[in-house]
A = this chain, B = another copy of it.
Amino acid sequence: MADTRQRLIDGAIDTIRAHGLTGATARGIAATAGVNQALVFYHFGSVNELLKAACLAATRARVEPFAERLDEVTDLRQLLALGRTLHAEERDRGNVMVLAQLLSGAQTDPDLAEATSASLQLWITPIERALSRLLASSPVAELIDTAGLARAVSAGFIGLELYEGVDADGAKAALDALDRLGVLIEVVDDLGPVAVRALRGKLRRTAKNLR
């Protein structure tokens, strides 16, 4: 069957989610998928190749519906709320955890690093698009680097997902705090030209400290 490939990919995702990257062995994945262990190597050549395919598949499956909802967001508060919804859904689905596990493994595996970076980029692209759209009409638009901010948001979210795995209460408190911080941004957004000019001046003065 041609769907043995798919069963192995799904099995890899489920195994990583349940037992982490260290538990994602050819035998373990094959058992979860309900297929023979040798088929991992027939279809993917090596365990690493299967993991890379699974990481991209898990991320794509999650980013695509997320990107649609992202396009419907009209302000920053909604954007934060969507992030929070995503986090709640991920507690059950756990596809971001697959990415987090491989991101961790990628630190000492250049081969894995390439696939992981590409998966992360799948998140970054629609988030950057949404940020650019939401900030386009804002007076602070030109002062914010949406490309960098999208990367910070994506990477930070991965960190929060990992933190949630060891301290659920702490992660909740962290998300609440970010909600409040989001309000600050909106207030700046509504300030008018005088404060924006002050902001611009402040940024220019600190710009030389950025490299």
Size of chain A's interface in residues, with CB distance under 8 A?
74
Tell me which of A4-12, A33-41, A64-72, A106-114 binds B.
A106-114
Q: What residues on B are CB-neighbors of A156 within 8 Å?
A: 152, 155-156, 159-160
| B105 close to A179 (CB less than 8 A) | no
Alpha-carbon separation in the docked complex, A159 to B159 (Å): 4
Q: Once the chains bind, are B166 and A116 in contact (CB under 8 Å)?
A: yes
Q: Is the C-beta of A176 less than 8 angstroms from some C-beta in chain B?
A: yes
Is A155's CB under 8 angstroms from B183's CB? no
Q: Are A104 and B100 in contact (CB under 8 A)?
A: yes
A175–B149 Cα gap in the complex (Å)? 8
Is the C-beta of A18 less than 8 angstroms from some C-beta in chain B? yes
Residues of B within 8 A of A179 (CB): 206, 209-210
Interface residues of A, dominant DSSP? helix
A56 within 8 A of B: no
A109 surroundings in chain B (CB, below 8 A)? 20
Does B187 contact A199, Cβ atoms closer than 8 Å?
Answer: yes
Whether A147 is near chain B, meaning CB under 8 Å from some CB there, is yes
A200-211 near B? 1/0 per residue, CB < 8 Å: 001100100111
Task: Confirm or deny: A61 has a beta carbon within 8 angstroms of a beta carbon on chain B.
Answer: no
10 further A-B contacts with Cβ under 8 Å, apart from A159-B159, A179-B209, A184-B188, are A100-B162, A103-B104, A107-B165, A148-B173, A151-B167, A151-B173, A156-B159, A176-B210, A180-B210, A184-B185
A-B contact pairs, 21 of them (CB 8 A): A18-B108, A21-B22, A23-B108, A77-B206, A81-B209, A104-B104, A117-B166, A149-B174, A149-B177, A151-B170, A151-B171, A152-B160, A154-B163, A155-B159, A159-B162, A176-B211, A180-B210, A187-B188, A187-B199, A190-B198, A191-B195
